[in-house]
Amino acid sequence: MVPMLGAPKQASLLLAVLLWVSSAATISIRDYGAVPDGRTDSSRALQKAWADVCALGGNAALVIPQGTYLIGPVVFKGPCKGPVRVQLHGTLLARSELSLYKPNWIEFQYLDGLVVSGHGKVHGQGARTWGLNRCHQNHKSDCKTFPMSMVFSFVRNATISGITSVDSKNFHLMVFGCRNIAFDSIKITAPGDSPNTDGIHIAVSENVVVQNSVIRTGDDCISIGDKTVNLTVAGVTCGPGHGISIGSLGRNANEQDLVGLHIRNCTFDGTTNGVRIKTWENGPKNLLVRDVVFEDVIMNNVQNPIIIDQKYCPSRTCPNNLKPSRVKITNVQFNNIVGTSATKTAINLICSAAFPCDVQLKHVDLKYVSGQANAFCVNVKANLRGMGFHGGGSAAGAGDKRLGARTPLGGHSPHRHPSVFRRQAMRSLFGKIVREGSVPPSQEDPIQMCGCAVVGLIRIFWMAGS
């Protein structure tokens, strides 16, 4: 047990901390010639100020005062002699000339102990260059990409809080090769039709937290790449945008597994997707996505609330004879997901024929405003325990573990198989099924709805008649 400090010792410790913080060096970019007029290039002043702060050590701070500072590409590179703070109070405005960037705008590299805080902005002026971006049209992996606004690479023990990113030319924030890094109370904004403006992209990183943030953009609010381990996303509002996506994965030979992702307490407003996993077919190697939880999520008029797409092909020109995706998706949970679907198919799980998905859904309550909702599942391997539908529904049974079926709620599965028994769910009784011509089964009686795992009570409602 750690002994409690007495009041005098506590006061002395607090005083020591306050003296340490107050004695830390503070450097303003204004002292290095930065001009807050939004027209004069202040890149050199910012770079020089960073070099001095990095060399000082002792929790030194780089201050960007109020005002608008025009800057080109800058690199805040370590290692530094000690932890470094960046206090952003003004606006950093990106230059528009694409030829200046090799390849990104603001980069933090090789740092241990970084704090970026304040209520300032980084403005990418993306509207001046989005019309030149063709990557979202041809979807080629070698497409020349535009500069990302802020890139954190090989950064450890960092906190980024309070700042706003506006109109990035490409991704707003990129996290690569990082460990123990948190993003708190971030705001990201770009028009819903802005190309490739992902809010935060995370890859090859461990122990990452994104929380209490608002992301409104033209692509994925958060996209999660390979070798992401122990990621927590909590309290994020997304929309417009493409939702929170794992992937796309399985296209390149150097990709590595994703393990331990937890997305919770998030809200999606009018997004094209809600929570999504997307993988390519015809991949060069086996890959694993394991231990993923999506829970306590609100969907407001979302086009595809729950989606797994293992035939991902954004150009829609992929041939039909590709080999199945080699990404194995296992122990993925969708728990307590509620709200409204803007499309008929509220749950769309298209998994790999080579590696059927291991998926669980629990307490899913999604409403469709214009008729019956569908759940569409292909190659999903799991059990269903206790299910209820308002207005009827159909369920396919546990004999076929690689089942493909579109199940209209109130209709019938188009698939028949000797090992598949179909059940008409007429109404729910506290999570139990009332089958045609039979007594209610116990909640432990395992069945399947189009191959989807459901534990507890799952309901997909439509407004009329519910």
Q: Which pair of tokens denotes residue 307?
A: 């989606």
Do the Cβ atoms of 155 and 106 come closer than 8 Å? no
Residue 119 is among the residues annotated as catalytic for this protein: no
**Which of these is catalytic: 123, 172, 242, 363?**
242
The pair of structure tokens assigned to 215 is: 């992301």
The pair of three-digit structure tokens given for residue 366, joined into one six-digit string = 């999604």
CA–CA dist 289, 357 (Å, integer):
10
Strands (E), 281-389: 287-302, 306-309, 327-341, 345-350, 357-368, 374-381, 384-385
For residues 297 and 262, what is the distance between their CA atoms, to the nearest angstrom?
12
Whether the Cβ atoms of residue 238 and residue 267 lie closer than 8 Å to each other: yes
How many residues are recorded in the chain? Answer: 466
β-strand partners of 384: 447, 454
| Type of residue numbered 287 | L
Contact status, residue 221 vs residue 194, Cβ threshold 8 Å: no
Per residue, the 3-state secondary structure of 224-275, as one string, reads ECCCCEEEEEEEEEECCCCCEEEEEECCCCCCCCEEEEEEEEEEEECCCCCE
Residues 157, 110 contacting (CB under 8 angstroms)? no
Distance CA 278, CA 350 (A): 9
Distance CA 406, CA 378 (A): 8
454 sits in which H/E element: strand 453-455
| Residue 310: closest CA among 394, 381, 221, 239 | 381
Which residues is 407 bridged to in the sheet? 375
Check: CB of residue 165 under 8 Å from CB of residue 149: yes
Q: Return phi, psi of residue 195, to 5°.
A: -80, 135
Which are the contacts of 166, defined by CB distance < 8 A and separation ≥ 6? Answer: 121, 122, 123, 124, 189, 190
CB atoms within 10 A of CB 135: 16
Sign of CA dihedral 219, 178, 359, 442: negative
| Catalytically annotated residues | 242
